[in-house]
Structure 1
Amino acid sequence: MTSDTSLADDLALALRLADAADAISIDKFRARELHIDLKPDHTYVTEADLAVERAIREVLAAERPGDSILGEEFGTDGDARRQWIIDPIDGTANYLRGVPVWGTLIALAVDGVPVVGVVSSPALGKRWWAAKEAGAWLSENGGEPRRLHVSAVADLADASLSFQSIAQWDEAGYLDRLVALTRQVWRDRAYGDMWSYMLLAEGLVDAVGEFDVKTYDLAALIPIVEEAGGRFTSVTGDAGPGNGSSLASNGHLHEALLKALA
């Protein structure tokens, strides 16, 4: 594990990377001539996704040449134990439709464990970040950062759940369990993409579940949720961002959620 000092330096770098990403992504947001392609997996990629990831990679190549990189658009470079994990625009479908719920996700993982995370959403005017043992933070419209804490809700009957997408749960064979869970909680919504997890870290949502997710979709979210006091696993309770599903909660509800979905 890296030292606290180096993690602070890494976080500072990640925040600078987010600045560069925001300048590119917001400039192309709702542009009349945004170029869009369909990838082999039938998901969309825009010229902004590509430009953001290229810009981040260029800075990392100059400032962290010994680290490896995993990015959604350009794959993996290197095999170092320190790996930067990038989703240049999480919520591309929202981005290309002009919906403001999207953001750049930047993480640093050491030996596969995410220890730094930044989520920057310039269209919402918000940026969330965390580093291991340094707390989770939010700045709105460039204002003074405030520390984040998950909610204290301890009963499913009082909980607000974001399930992301009915189609995901249906395709994973969990739709019946999702419906049963929605009958146990106070409220259910599908806020979508990175925003659900950030609402959790802010204490405004109590649980989030999702399927069909990749490492780059989750790595930056994990330090923020955990440093805010929450818990982050797969739907089956496994740690790490590479299990294909996610279950994040305020911690108090986690065992009950795992039991409900088992």
Structure 2
Amino acid sequence: MTIETEYSLSDDLALALALASDADLISLDRFRAVDLVVTTKPDRTPVTDADQAVERSIRSGIEAARPTDSILGEEYGTEGDSRRQWIIDPIDGTANFLRGVPIWGTLISLAIDGVPVVGVVSSPALGKRWWAATGHGAWAQADGEKARQIRVSAVSELSDASLSYNSITGWDDEGRLDDIVALTRQVWRSRAIGDMWSYMLVAEGAIDVVGEFDLKPYDMAALIPIITEAGGRFTSVDGVDGPWNGSALATNGLLHDFVLRQLNGV
């Protein structure tokens, strides 16, 4: 894929990392705060004052550095109409955040012509960050350590694979409970790790398959460059590329077609 815009992907990735650093300061300051404000959105999902403050900070940074780019964010919707679109989930894992569980993170992506080409996942409560840009590899860094390039596993047999299904209710609501239960019986190990962390564990090679339903583009866009640059594959549960189809299946690549056949009965 040829990517030609007035900015290099290296520059865009640097911007995303800087925005994530600012976001981490805001979110960590509000994590486990006794005065955290929690409200319910029309879709009955929770939102905190931290979600809103983080997204405002990221939007402000993008508007200053890339004024002609468009933005899609979970809390404040879509702004602009450009082939370069920044996609933001200010706090992925809000339910964990408001309960004091440290599995949550800020997701920042740049999509060009609908294809995510830059992704940053920053999880300050876990002390970790992951990032990638197309053609630049996938990287991870823990607090106090040097950045290291990451790679998916080489597991090629489903019977040796570790699976995260993330939410059994999500599969049940889609009428796919039997499919995921059947898959859990074929793998070595299954867990519901949840949210962005399960996908980053795929990119690091710690688990091999993760899938879930009821997702929005901002839940997935930042994950895609990291998974793919680490050597994995990311589609919907039905096998469609991209973050636009409401579900996710991420694997080490070696297992992907086999898992798709198992889940879709083909």
TM-score, normalised with respect to structure 1: 0.99
Q: Distance in 1 between matches of 2:86 and 2:141?
A: 22
- Aligned residue pair count: 262
Q: Are 2:210 and 1:208 aligned?
A: yes
Q: Distance in 1 between matches of 2:176 and 2:158?
A: 18
Q: Distance in 1 between matches of 2:58 and 2:255?
A: 36
1:157 corresponds to which letter in structure 2?
A: S
Equivalent position to 2:94, from 82, 92, 95: 92
Equivalent position to 1:156, from 155, 158, 164: 158
Aligned to 2:62: 60
Residue pairs, 1:1-262, within 5 angstroms: 1-2=3-4, 6-262=8-264
| RMSD over equivalenced CA pairs, Å | 1.0
Q: Distance in 1 between matches of 2:174 and 2:67?
A: 39
Q: Distance in 2 between matches of 1:55 and 1:150?
A: 32
Q: Give the match's secondary structure for 2:170.
A: helix
Q: Distance in 1 between matches of 2:218 and 2:25?
A: 21
1:136 corresponds to which letter in structure 2?
A: A
Of stretches 66-75 and 141-150 in structure 1, the one that deviates more from structure 2 is: 141-150
Of stretches 166-175 and 137-146 in structure 1, the one that deviates more from structure 2 is: 137-146
Superposed CA deviations along residues 169-199 of structure 1, whole A, max 9, x for unmatched, are: 0001100010000000000001100000000
Q: Distance in 1 between matches of 2:29 and 2:37?
A: 13
Offset of 1:4 from its aligned partner?
A: 10
Q: Distance in 1 between matches of 2:190 and 2:112?
A: 34
Q: Distance in 1 between matches of 2:145 and 2:38?
A: 33
Q: Any gaps of 5 or more consecutive residues in structure 1?
A: none
Q: Give the match's secondary structure for 1:51.
A: helix
Q: Distance in 1 between matches of 2:211 and 2:125?
A: 24
Q: Distance in 2 between matches of 1:17 and 1:173?
A: 39
Superposed CA deviations along residues 50-83 of structure 1, whole A, max 9, x for unmatched, are: 0000001111111100100000000000110000
Superposed CA deviations along residues 78-120 of structure 1, whole A, max 9, x for unmatched, are: 1100000000000000000000000000000000000000000
Q: Which runs of 4+ in 1 moved over 2 A?
A: 2-5
Q: Distance in 1 between matches of 2:4 and 2:126?
A: 32
Offset of 1:160 from its aligned partner?
A: 0.1
Q: Give the match's secondary structure for 2:106.
A: strand
1:125 corresponds to which letter in structure 2?
A: G
Offset of 1:2 from its aligned partner?
A: 2.9
Offset of 1:143 from its aligned partner?
A: 2.0
Q: Give the match's secondary structure for 2:34.
A: coil
Identity of aligned residues (%): 68
Q: Any gaps of 5 or more consecutive residues in structure 2?
A: none
Offset of 1:236 from its aligned partner?
A: 0.5
